[in-house]
Structure 1
Amino acid sequence: MAGAVISGVHATRAGALPEESCLSLHAQSASGAVADAGLRLEDVDGVLCAYSFTEPHLMLSSVFCEYMGLQPAFSSAIQAGGATACIMLAHAAALVRSGQCRHVLLVTGDNRLTGMPKGGAVAALAEVGHPQFERPYGISVPAAYGLVAQRYMHEYGVTAEALAAVAVTARAHAMRHPKAHRRDLLTPEMVASSRPIAAPLRLHDCCLVSDGGAALVVSAGEAAADLRRPPVAVLGLGQGHTHEHIVAAPSLTSFGCKQAAARAFGEAGVAPADIDVAEIYDSFTITLLVELESMGFFERGAAGPAALAGALTHGGQLPCNTHGGLLSYGHSGAAGGMFHIVEAVEQLRGEAGDRQVPDAELAFVHGDGGILSAHCSIVLGRH
């Protein structure tokens, strides 16, 4: 089995975990993923880490390796906002395909909910804004996504009811996951009556702030015989980058996710219609609708009505974010995107329990960072 495979995954609970630190979440996730693969820590010869708001360090991967007693042949920290986890996977796949490493450990985690003052995570994200043309005017990340939502509603007739359907579907999925941050009932009426955040986005249109961690091991294909679990093949990878700051975006309705998905589908030799389950970054309800349409799963303006009709849930056209996504499973920085990959792997291995999509053979994962700025798409397959 040539190429790269995901050999082990692990995710912690998401939510309020006051007993944990950033590094303890890293350690739990890493140990769980290595054990899931049937490996030992000393089998790991490559380590990739993301970033942390609560324990920031220029060399977080080195800090983590020191913490775990690892001395890998390759170590690096990667920072690309919400696209980080997927881009880490792309780097790891390149490392094992080139023969530089045999088993690469990818680790993410942060305790943003209990390890920062209330509102601290949102305040830290204000640094995403352009220092000259955005920050002085007080723009926030929700406000920038609200701008996208307003334009998308204007051009394609997306309704507030469609946005609410995305949030309600995510919560219904999270209610099936024992590790999810929010498992309480959410109705369309509750979304519509929740407090405004950045028009037209309301509280339940916005992702959670959570503590949590997730990790995975990417192995060389020829190592499959050594593994404990059925490996999941990395079939296609693609990135797309059109801007960093929203003031410089060439469009408010078309983003680099289109190119990223096209490249991943092209490498895998499949089309959107072939995908059985999708795990797509959902920092806001509008994020998911924009990306579903840009990447070819639905025509422009059709994803909202599809969500209202149940297309994104079990038995629908495209079961999406079956763990609850960032909107309801939880969002703890780079681990938020890694949760999507873990869920895709568990779906393809048939280990998703009550969330299982029957006979899932192909999964699509997408991460985006910034204000729909950095994009990375992945096609995974059951071997």
Structure 2
Amino acid sequence: MEGFPSGRTAIVGAATFGIGKAPGLDAMDLATHASLRALDDAGLALSDVDALFITQPQDTLAGMSFADYLGVRPRITDCNRSGGSSFMLQLAHAALALDAGYCDVALIAYGSNQATASGKLVQTSRNAFWDAQYKPLRPVSAYALAAARHMHEYGTTKAQLAEVAVAARGWAQSNPDACRREPLTIDEVVGARMISDPLGKLDCCLVTDGAAAIVMTRADRARDCAKTPVYALAAASAVTHGEISSMPDLTVTGATESGARAYAQAGLRPDDIDVVQVYDAFTINTILFLEDLGFCPKGEGGRFVENGAIAPGGRLAVNTSGGGLSYCHPGMFGLFTLVESIRQLRGECGARQVPGAGTALAHGNGGLLSSQATVILGNAPTHS
């Protein structure tokens, strides 16, 4: 597929900061610390940055305020607000701008202090008036509807949803930065306090502070940076609806479209992907996205994840950081799936490292299953 400059741009720096709780720091502080770490990882300086991509939970003018905070004068700023998929879209925009020579070094950053500031998920939108009368819990009730419909249509069980949470915890136990590392069982997930039927507390993501950042440049320049480049092979997105009541099919997401376009851009198939990072704000997400991204047929996601299939030692390495369910979830998780993909491809993940990882898929979800974005990365410019 023409359009995306596959393999012609690369990620040369990646970092996180303030995972868990970071008292005394606001969202911009956290994003700044992660950005400085990512630039140091790349062997670059703030003065090298001429394109700034940032989405902050409560700052609609973050492109300008963050540039001011950092003391840089970028040629480009981008404050895309499509929720947790924003960062995949920003990677696509950065790759296009870099390849066109419109900029030389792009910084993509995010930070949130929601855990220490409020102790709960920060809401950046509200229910439409036609949904509000039913008093849904936003966003969990929307995902509960998708889970209930999947269970009705395909026989998916609470225990299969629980497999997702238990697998994520298994990966988190090998991640020293993960917020939840204690053992977790299927029975504990199934028996947890109900939040919005059929999703219980342990089917839901964490509420944490945290920040992440990545640095991109053109492939020819990337070879001179401090770390081995990770190449952007594909990036595609799709929006299917806004409110959950407008979703065409509660069991099918726009990942069917974004995934298909990304595979075509990269010249790859699901079987070619070594590591998968999906946006697991709720356990049903992982099942839906594994289906829609082609790792198993529609309706088979519950059975696909059974018996530890996506846990350490399983047949497919999924959410190797521990994901939003056990690693961290500071409001928007998309950029953290990219950072974990990069670390896996650079062989930096220690006990949770996937041997021989050469390709990674990072998938972001925004809104109420509304915006889907798929990025494919590789440790070589092209895949033979």
* Secondary structure of 2:87 counterpart: helix
User: Partner residue of 1:376?
Assistant: 373
Number of residue pairs matched by the alignment: 374
Q: What letter corresponds to residue 106 of structure 2 in structure 1? A: V
Tell me, yes or no, if the aligned pair for 1:51 and 1:78 is still in contact at 8 Å. no
User: Partner residue of 2:127?
Assistant: 129
User: Partner residue of 2:19?
Assistant: 14
* Secondary structure of 1:133 counterpart: helix
Q: What letter corresponds to residue 339 of structure 2 in structure 1? A: V
Q: CA deviation at 1:36?
A: 0.5
Q: What letter corresponds to residue 49 of structure 2 in structure 1? A: V
TM-score, normalised to structure 1, is: 0.95
Cα shift readout 1:117-163 (whole Å, capped 9, x = no counterpart): x44x26x25x3422x21123212211111111010001111111111
User: Partner residue of 1:73?
Assistant: 75
Tell me, yes or no, if the aligned pair for 1:230 and 1:349 is still in contact at 8 Å. yes
Q: What letter corresponds to residue 61 of structure 1 in structure 2? A: G
Q: What letter corresponds to residue 375 of structure 1 in structure 2? A: Q
Q: What letter corresponds to residue 345 of structure 2 in structure 1? A: L
User: Partner residue of 2:360?
Assistant: 363
1:208 aligns with 2:201: no
CA distance in 1, matches of 2:78, 2:259: 25
1:46 aligns with 2:51: yes
Cα shift readout 1:280-325 (whole Å, capped 9, x = no counterpart): 1111000110111111101123222222222212332210000011
- Which of 6, 10, 27 matches 1:5? 10
Structure 1: runs of 5+ lacking an equivalent? none
Structure 2: runs of 5+ lacking an equivalent? 1-5
Tell me, yes or no, if the aligned pair for 1:22 and 1:111 is still in contact at 8 Å. yes
- Which of 161, 169, 193 matches 1:171? 169
Q: CA deviation at 1:328?
A: 0.7
Tell me, yes or no, if the aligned pair for 2:7 and 2:233 is still in contact at 8 Å. no
Q: What letter corresponds to residue 323 of structure 1 in structure 2? A: S
CA distance in 1, matches of 2:19, 2:193: 23
CA distance in 2, matches of 1:355, 1:185: 16
CA distance in 1, matches of 2:161, 2:38: 34
User: Partner residue of 2:3?
Assistant: none
* Secondary structure of 2:309 counterpart: coil
Identity, % of aligned pairs? 39
* Secondary structure of 1:230 counterpart: coil
Q: CA deviation at 1:237?
A: 1.2
- Which of 91, 98, 103 matches 2:100? 98
Cα shift readout 1:11-36 (whole Å, capped 9, x = no counterpart): 12421221321111011100001010
Q: CA deviation at 1:164?
A: 0.6
Q: What letter corresponds to residue 137 of structure 1 in structure 2? A: Y
Pick which of 241-250 and 358-367 moved more: 241-250
Tell me, yes or no, if the aligned pair for 2:89 and 2:235 is still in contact at 8 Å. no
User: Partner residue of 1:332?
Assistant: 330
1:23 aligns with 2:28: yes
User: Partner residue of 1:108?
Assistant: 110
Tell me, yes or no, if the aligned pair for 1:62 and 1:76 is still in contact at 8 Å. no
Structural mapping, 1:121-200, within 5 Å = 121=121, 124=123, 127-130=125-128, 132-140=129-137, 141-200=139-198
CA distance in 1, matches of 2:309, 2:182: 22
CA distance in 1, matches of 2:19, 2:302: 28
CA distance in 1, matches of 2:76, 2:254: 29
* Secondary structure of 2:140 counterpart: helix
* Secondary structure of 2:363 counterpart: strand
Q: What letter corresponds to residue 41 of structure 1 in structure 2? A: L
